[in-house]
Structures are given as C-alpha cells and as structure tokens.
A and B are shown apart, each in its own frame.
Chain A
C-alpha cells in the first residue's frame, strides 16, 4: 500500500499569516502521462471532507485562490497564503494512483 505521511500533525496559525502542510508519499504518484494523482481535502468540524486541490495543483470549483498545491513525484505541499477563520479544520492528502486508495493522517489547523 502507498503510505502518505503528513506533517505537521497540528498547526496553530495567526489569521492573515501563511500556512504550509507537507505530504510525503512512499511511492511516486506520477502517472505515465505526467498527471500527479495527489489530492487535498479540508474537513471542517462536524462536516464531510471537501475537495480543495486535485491533480497536485488544480483548485476545485469555488476554492479560494489563497489555496495552492505544489510538489514533485513523492513530496507535496499545500499552502494557504493568508489563513482565514473559515480555514479551520483538518486537512488530508489522498492518492488515487493505485489501489487501495490511501489518505494521509491529517493535519489539524487552528487559529491562534
């Protein structure tokens, strides 16, 4: 199975400041066509996960441009340029290049 390791496990951020979350994969998530099958989700308290970023760096419909994704075949980063109150929750990375689909352990973001 592909293991996704997220760091840090928790993050306390001052509103308006940037935040960065890392996701490291045990195998390359690059498909033969160059597509990186790495996704980022935000699960706000008491809600279901919502897709933020797909295929490494593409923002899903309605996602603010303060969210961005980057990375290579095995190392990935989600950045929030200026954290807002509505960004609080747990962020997960997920890979779908191979079965079983796997998720990172999650990074809990809270405000200072």
Chain B
C-alpha cells in the first residue's frame, strides 16, 4: 500500500527556519517524483516544487524558487521541504504527493502538514 506520512504541525516565528518531512512507503522511492503543494487558509492548490530521489533532480515553480528547497533521503525514503526564513504569509497546509511532475498524475497524497508562522 502506497503511503506518504507527513510530519506534525509546526508553529514558528517569522524569520525562523523550518524543514518538514514526507516519509514514503509501499513503492520504490527512488523511481518516483515527489512534489509539494501549498494550500493557504481557505484557498486553492499551488504547486511549489518536486524532486526525483533517484538522482536528486529537482524542479521549482517560479513562484517559489529561491524561497524554498526540496530534498530527499534515499536511506529513510523521506522527502523534505525547507525554508530558510519564514514569513507570516507562509502560514498554510503543505501536502506532499507522488508523481507530482510534468506528465504525472499526482496519484497519492499525504495528509498535509500545517505550518503556522506567527509572532
């Protein structure tokens, strides 16, 4: 069974750094792109970026490039989304999804990680 288990809710102050995770199981982690989607409160879905764990290739939306980084650890079959300096506007739910890539159908999704950025 394909599963993507995301890390718990985070509450951070503006300017802080953060790394959230998405642990995969039930499939060959190194052969599928894993991507990240932002959903701001009461809003729609926005693709942020994706990574291919097999060779660490990554792709970013121009809207998010430079503000976030995606990475993956093949040993723990975990993908990560990282911020260097959080802003209040980063408050959102972040979903990881398998096959979130050009030509892909984003077939399985995690349950989401709520990130709250507030002083």
Contact = CB atoms under 8 A, between A and B. Distances in A.
B80 interface: no
Contact of B105 (A39, A100, A105): A39
Interface stretch (A12-20, A78-86, A90-98): A90-98
B114 to A, nearest CB: 11
B112 interface: yes
Interface residues of A, number: 26
A67 interface: no
Contact of B107 (A60, A98, A100, A101): A60
A92 B105 contact: no
B12 interface: no
Contact of B109 (A50, A54, A97): A50
Interface in B45-101: 45-47, 59, 61-63, 95, 97, 100-101
B106 interface: yes
A101 B102 contact: yes
The winner among B61, B105, B111 for most chain A CB atoms within 10 A is B105
Contacts of B59: 99
B44 interface: yes
Given A48-B110, A49-B95, A100-B61, A54 B105 contact: yes
Given A101-B47, A103-B46, A96 B110 contact: no
Closest A-B pairs by Cβ, 10 of them: A101-B47, A54-B105, A100-B61, A48-B109, A103-B45, A106-B44, A39-B105, A51-B107, A48-B112, A48-B111
Interface of A: 31, 37, 39, 41, 43, 47-51, 54-55, 60, 92, 94, 96-106
